[in-house]
Amino acid sequence: MASHRFQPTMSRLLIALLASAMIAPAFAAAPFVIKDIRVEGIQRTEPGTVFSYVPFKVGDSFSDELASETIRALYATGFFKDVRVDVQGDVVVISIEERPAIAAVSFVGNKEFDTDTLKKALRDVGIAEARIYDKAVIDRAEQEIKSQYLTRSKYGAKVATTITPIERNRVNVTFTIDEGEVAKIQDIRFIGNKAFSDRELRDQIVLRTPGWFTFFTKDDQYSRQKLSADLESLRSFYLNRGYLEFNIESSQVSISPDRQEISITINLFEGEKYTVSDIKVSGETLGRTEELRQLIKIKAGDTFNGDRMTESVKAMTDRLGAFGFAFATINPQPNIDRDKRSVAFDFFVDPGRRAYVRRVNVVGNTRTRDEVIRREVRQFESAWYDSEKIRLSRDRIDRLAYFDTVNVDTSPVPGTADQIDVTYTVKEKATGQIAAAVGYNSTDKLVITASISQANVFGSGKTLGAEINTSRASRALAISTVDPYFTVDGVSRSIDFYTRTSNTANLNLAPVRVEAQGASMRFGVPFTDLDTVFLGLAVERNRISNVSDIRYQDYILRYGEETYAGIGTLGWGRDSRNSGIAPTRGGLRRFNAEVSGGDLTYYKLDYQEQLFWPVTQTLTLALNTQATYADGLGKRPYPFFKNLYAGGIGSVRGFEGGTLGPKQILSDGSLGNALGGTKRLIGNLELQIPVPGQGKEKTARMFAFVDTGYLWGENERVRLNDMRFSAGVGLTWLSPVGPLKLSYGRPLVSKPGDRVERFQFQVGTGF
């Protein structure tokens, strides 16, 4: 129970009326002309504030009616708890007693919510520093705090308020909170279900009784929002199985006397299971009746399915939207035959008026320039509305990977029947990545690693990056820049300058030291909204040393330790993913051909395809395949220091990075380090799952995977029975230092000599 040192006064209106009645006899004398007005008793309030509410001034004729009106006006401000009007000769004296001001608001015992969150909630009900203290507002504040705890299933929370007077007519307000224990769901019951058991129905909802993972997910804590969502899930479950007349008649939530246990009872009416007997399309179909009929995903003879019905309506609406009919409506009218337990649907089409887009708005980009977003938009202002172009524009903006979320809304223009506004709302994310580390070990001695990359530098859409690495296994200094709109037509340009030194002896590979310096320039020319052709040219100098394998030594004897080469590239890419951060549908296809001339004459062909399918609203199935083939030109062998490698994250997890494929044969006949190869096949299948409790954020995902792949040498034939397989689980996190992928995998198919590495991680990975 709350305790207060200041006892409450009566309501302001009642006090004002009583005060007015009490002062009436005091001013029964004849009116007089006011010579002066004095205000007494104020401490914090400015005299001008009081005078602004007084309905008279010096020189006016004073009466008891004016006195009553003054008292009522000053009480109504809420600043004062006592107001008196006295007369001393021809001087009016207004005596007031101010209400205390709140000097500080503090909390004791709050653990579930931080202090700032509670202060913000109380500010909305009128409790904050410098505001006037009011007992009625304090009572509302206590109820507001309790309501905050109800959202966390703490139904037994108690709040006590202590008011401490301090100098200058101020008070400190302290809320002492006993949070109590979290009320857990102990029972979920269903009444009226015959077709499905309670267990089957519980599997369809999020709320559940305490279990192994509910400590983390908090799904055993009741909330009205979760229950509403679960009731919709149950409705969808039944409708998708033919129960057209299914209804949730009621849901009751009861709490135990000690406020620690919650029981939920859901009353259902299942009805009968219906089969679709006929499908028709009618109304104004714009001569596209058969085209619209093909979009209907439910056919005669099928069991009624609510999701397919919704998908059919959306597909038909979107199709009409592609022709400018933004306000088209599709109304599936059912004709139910209860005796035969069948239903026929007539999809009535009303296209409405053709609309055009008045404005395209961009909202939420605090850092990224408008033009960076608008140049991805394919729906133009003053053009006919096109739902496909609007969706494509949203996907293109999301593929920039500059934003956490990208949403699009369409709204009719008030006062018009054929205009619409399109608004793209984005939420900025940190696009810069910076990492630095200093370490020391017996192999590399002092190691300094640093990198910085800004994918949207100054909000321009350009990328600028630099890298430095001093480890003995891989030394590097590189600078790169990418301008995705080098020309106004969308031709991109990327430039790289680099010097790298790799020593494979420190990576469990065949020992070789390669020093490479080079520069490259690449252009990307879009020829559709999804397809881009890439053209590039690079110059490179390589110096090879510390070679131990005899095959590598033979190559150096024939072609020398130092080589110069010009490398040309020709590529194609098609990106139809709906997001550049966490895609759930679409695909990415890339083909790249590389040809080298000069001291090095070789070619390399690489094809990669990624596909994404939404299994459910939260689960995504992702497939990655990659095939690479390389060989020498002009009867020269392929340069061994350009060899391909397989194994580890990015290829076949569960095997040590780069160790699959041909290996050295040591003098005792055993297998040594990996040599790399020229032919590679990789396949990865992932079931991607959002991390529980993450909400709409895309920064972290769990996954289960199956990988396969292998690598063959220059003189080896590709044999599919050489393929290795592995399976496991992992986590992807878009960390502040770049994409981080962790995986734990176990080989399913391996052979002697394979090096197993079950736990692996890498920063900066893609798929």
| pLDDT score at 439 | 43
Task: Return the closest-CA partner of residue 540 out of 499, 575, 493, 586.
Answer: 499
Going along the chain from its start, the domains and CATH numbers come out as: 12-98 (3.10.20.310), 103-178 (3.10.20.310), 184-269 (3.10.20.310), 275-350 (3.10.20.310), 356-428 (3.10.20.310), 570-763 (2.40.160.50)
Higher model confidence: residue 662 or residue 627?
A: 627
Looking at every residue in the chain, the average pLDDT score rounds to 86
Report residue 735's pLDDT band, with 50, 70 and 90 as the boundaries: low
For 164-184, the pLDDT digits (tens) are 998 888 899 999 999 888 888
Mean predicted confidence (pLDDT) in 488-512: 80
| pLDDT score at 133 | 85
Measured distance CA(473)–CA(511) in Å, rounded: 11
| pLDDT score at 10 | 40
Residues 6+ apart with CB under 8 A from 96: 39, 40, 41, 42, 45, 50, 74, 80, 82, 83, 84
| pLDDT score at 610 | 96
For 507-526, the pLDDT digits (tens) are 556 677 888 999 999 999 99
Report residue 136's pLDDT band, with 50, 70 and 90 as the boundaries: confident
Measured distance CA(360)–CA(630) in Å, rounded: 48
Percentage above 70 pLDDT, the chain: 89
Which of 250-264, 682-696, 733-747 is predicted most confidently? 250-264
Residue 669 has pLDDT above 80, yes or no: no
Residue 487 has pLDDT above 80, yes or no: yes
| pLDDT score at 474 | 67
For 211-255, the pLDDT digits (tens) are 887 777 788 888 888 899 999 999 999 999 999 999 999 999 998
Output the six-digit token pair for 333: 């009218």
HEC readout, 69-86: HHHHHHHHCCCEEEEEEE
Counting beta carbons within 10 angstroms of the beta carbon of residue 531, is it exposed (0 to 12), middle (13 to 18) or buried (19 or more)?
middle
Residue 11 has pLDDT above 70, yes or no: no
Output the six-digit token pair for 713: 């040498």
Report residue 472's pLDDT band, with 50, 70 and 90 as the boundaries: low
Residue 5 has pLDDT above 70, yes or no: no
Residue 206 has pLDDT above 70, yes or no: yes
Measured distance CA(364)–CA(541) in Å, rounded: 46
Report residue 6's pLDDT band, with 50, 70 and 90 as the boundaries: very low
| pLDDT score at 440 | 40
Mean predicted confidence (pLDDT) in 452-466: 83
Measured distance CA(382)–CA(418) in Å, rounded: 11
Mean predicted confidence (pLDDT) in 623-629: 97
Higher model confidence: residue 318 or residue 657?
A: 318
Mean predicted confidence (pLDDT) in 309-332: 94
Evaluated on CA atoms 685, 689, 691, 694, the torsion sign reads positive
| pLDDT score at 451 | 62
| pLDDT score at 449 | 52
Residue 752 has pLDDT above 80, yes or no: yes
Least confident span in 113-122, 183-192, 414-423, 468-477: 468-477
Mean predicted confidence (pLDDT) in 120-138: 86
For 677-720, the pLDDT digits (tens) are 999 999 999 999 888 766 556 678 899 999 999 999 988 999 99
Note the pTM of the prediction, 2 decimals. 0.61
Evaluated on CA atoms 442, 443, 445, 450, the torsion sign reads negative
Task: Return the closest-CA partner of residue 537 out of 489, 481, 594.
Answer: 594
For 272-308, the pLDDT digits (tens) are 999 999 999 999 999 999 999 999 999 999 999 999 9
Residues 6+ apart with CB under 8 A from 181: 154, 156, 260
Measured distance CA(306)–CA(325) in Å, rounded: 25
Residue 375 has pLDDT above 70, yes or no: yes
φ/ψ region of 227 (left if φ > 0, alpha if ψ in -120 to 50, else beta) reads: alpha
Mean predicted confidence (pLDDT) in 440-467: 67
φ/ψ region of 580 (left if φ > 0, alpha if ψ in -120 to 50, else beta) reads: alpha
Residue 122 has pLDDT above 50, yes or no: yes
Helix (H, G, I), strand (E, B) or coil at 585: coil
